[in-house]
């Protein structure tokens, strides 16, 4: 009997195991399916916390609706009635001591029309004129494997990128734009430039892609994102699920692989899915050459702090759902989401719930990561008072520390992943990479990657 072991019970591992289990039952296959998760609960970076009438997403907080609509996992898991969408609202950038609106007709801070560029209060007249280079400057030097920061700055100029685009994009992709590739961030920008001769014109021609759902760009579930995790787990009735169980070592044998587990047991496996962070995956196999292939992959860090209040969220600026910081000297946080405004289901009473993000890209992070929870809360309260004028004591809080746990796709990322895949294929057939360390950080990306990995294993068997 063949054995497939999925290491990691995040959404990638669950998606892979769901597809394997479905195939096993539909085809009456005699295979053993085992999922090992080091934590007490499944979900990985999806973790929903409930406190005092507030619903807090301590990890990922939503799913990109456009990507989910192109897939069928919500329907297949029977979650259609559970779906909720974000409330439409404007986003701000905190700069020069005040909140300034990000132009409405923009995507990740990138103007989607000339009018959007003209109306921006974040960029000077000179910066706007320079950004018009996009319409007459040809692309004769960039490929999709080049830096997204260099690409944008070449066609839009430095000011627009630094003051309006970089704060938004860096917030989404957790890294310096000069270190991130076009391919791993926004590959369609390159396509727009090639097809229309202008990124702005490309957005104008494809507005329906980005505005098809109105303001409903993100979705979640009315009882929390862990609804998705629970739905997957409920459908793994043909699978052995080992929680609080970490894989500690993988050894190649004559007939497959021997995997030692933290509970003192070991198992033989024919296929292994490494659905865990790259540094954890690299540590499992005693192969220095393989470890060297993993070495170029890097992680960044994030500290998330929720603050819940017994005051109505109408205290916030009208029509807003949050802000990003542009000048790192002004606030210690990188961004602040007004969660109760953006997601009505997170606050039963309609009282204020906010989430502040602190990332390793901020100069102050070196001191933040040494702080205990009480000091971090004081820092968050100071940022909230300065940016929003809120001085009340919070009714509840939640601090999540993802130090060195956030994938950071550097320019070399595609080549590094290809090299690891190649070595595994030659030296360790049957061991498969999966997850956000390699193939995309969004929940739909992870679900799709898990399903694709399962498909490879099924084909191989």
Q: Residue 39: which CATH number? A: 3.50.50.60
Q: What does DSSP say about strands 48-51 and 106-107: parallel, antiparallel, or unpaired?
A: unpaired
Q: Can you give the pLDDT at residue 216?
A: 80
Averaged pLDDT, 12-21: 98
- Does residue 360 lie in a domain region? yes
Out of 187, 211, 235, pick the residue that ends a domain. Answer: 211
Contact 52, 308 (CB under 8 A): yes
The pTM assigned to this predicted structure is 0.88
Q: What is the DSSP string of 398-444?
A: EEEEEEEEEEE--TTHHHHHHHHHHHHHHHSTTEEE-STTTS-SSHH
- Tens of pLDDT, residue by residue over 266-296, are 999 999 999 999 999 999 999 999 999 999 9
CA 224/CA 226 separation, integer angstroms: 5
Report the distance separating Cα 341 and Cα 353, nearest Å: 8
Condensed to tens digits (0 to 9), the pLDDT of residues 414-454 reads 899 999 999 999 999 999 999 999 998 899 999 999 999 99
Specify the pLDDT at position 185. Answer: 85
Residue 369, domain extent: 299-408
Residue 210 has pLDDT above 80, yes or no: no
Q: Which residues contact 151 (CB under 8 A, 6 or more apart)?
A: 142, 182, 189, 190
- Candidates 47, 48, 42; CA nearest to 17 is 42
Provide φ and ψ at 300, rounded to 5°.
-115, -175
Q: How far apart are CA 97 and CA 330, in angstroms?
A: 7
Q: Which CATH number covers residue 123?
A: 1.10.3110.10
CA distance between the termini of the chain: 11
How many structural domains is the chain composed of? 3
Assess whether 264 and 286 both reside in one domain.
yes
From CA 266, how far away is CA 31, in angstroms rounded? 17
C-alpha–C-alpha distance, residues 394 and 417, integer Å: 44
Whether 68 is in a domain gets the answer no
């Amino acid at each position: 009997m063949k054995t497939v072991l999925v290491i990691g019970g995040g959404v990638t591992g669950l998606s892979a195991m769901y597809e394997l289990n479905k195939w096993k039952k539909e085809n009456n296959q005699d295979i053993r399916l085992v999922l090992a998760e080091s934590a007490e609960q499944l979900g990985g970076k999806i973790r929903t916390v409930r406190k005092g009438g507030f619903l807090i997403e301590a990890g990922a907080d939503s799913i990109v609706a456009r990507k989910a609509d192109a897939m069928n996992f919500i329907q297949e898991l029977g979650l259609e009635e559970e779906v909720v969408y974000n409330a439409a609202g404007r986003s701000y950038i905190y700069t020069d001591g005040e909140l300034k609106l990000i132009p409405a007709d923009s995507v990740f801070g990138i103007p989607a029309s000339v009018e959007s560029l003209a109306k921006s209060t974040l960029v000077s007249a000179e910066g706007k004129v320079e950004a018009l280079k996009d319409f007459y400057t040809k692309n004769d030097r960039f490929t999709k494997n080049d830096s997204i920061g260099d690409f944008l700055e070449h066609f839009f100029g430095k000011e627009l990128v630094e003051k309006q685009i970089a704060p938004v994009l860096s917030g989404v992709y957790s890294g310096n734009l000069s270190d991130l590739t076009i391919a791993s961030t926004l590959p369609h920008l390159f396509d727009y430039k090639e097809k229309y001769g202008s990124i702005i014109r490309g957005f104008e021609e494809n507005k329906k892609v980005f505005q098809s759902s109105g303001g409903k760009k993100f979705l979640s579930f009315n009882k929390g994102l862990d609804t998705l995790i629970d739905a997957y787990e409920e459908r793994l009735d043909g699978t052995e699920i080992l929680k609080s169980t970490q894989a500690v070592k993988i050894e190649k044998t004559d007939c497959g692989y021997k995997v030692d587990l933290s509970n003192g047991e070991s198992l033989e496996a024919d296929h292994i899915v490494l659905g865990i962070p790259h540094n954890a995956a690299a540590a499992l196999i005693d192969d220095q050459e393989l470890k060297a292939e993993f070495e170029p992959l890097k992680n960044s860090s994030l500290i998330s702090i929720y603050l819940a209040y017994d005051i109505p969220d109408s205290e916030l600026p009208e029509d807003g759902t949050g802000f990003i910081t542009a000048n790192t000297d002004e606030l210690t946080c990188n961004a602040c989401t007004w969660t109760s405004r953006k997601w009505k289901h997170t606050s039963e009473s309609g009282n204020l719930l906010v989430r502040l993000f602190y990332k390793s890209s901020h100069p102050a992070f070196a001191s933040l990561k040494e702080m205990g929870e009480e000091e971090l809360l004081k820092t968050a309260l100071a940022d909230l008072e300065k940016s929003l004028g809120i001085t009340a004591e919070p009714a509840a809080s939640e601090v999540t520390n993802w130090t060195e746990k956030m994938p950071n796709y550097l320019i070399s990322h595609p080549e590094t992943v290809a090299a690891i895949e190649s070595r595994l294929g030659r030296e360790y057939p049957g061991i498969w990479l999966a997850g956000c360390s390699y193939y995309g950080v969004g929940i739909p990306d992870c679900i799709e990657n898990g399903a694709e990995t399962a498909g490879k294993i099924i084909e191989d068997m």
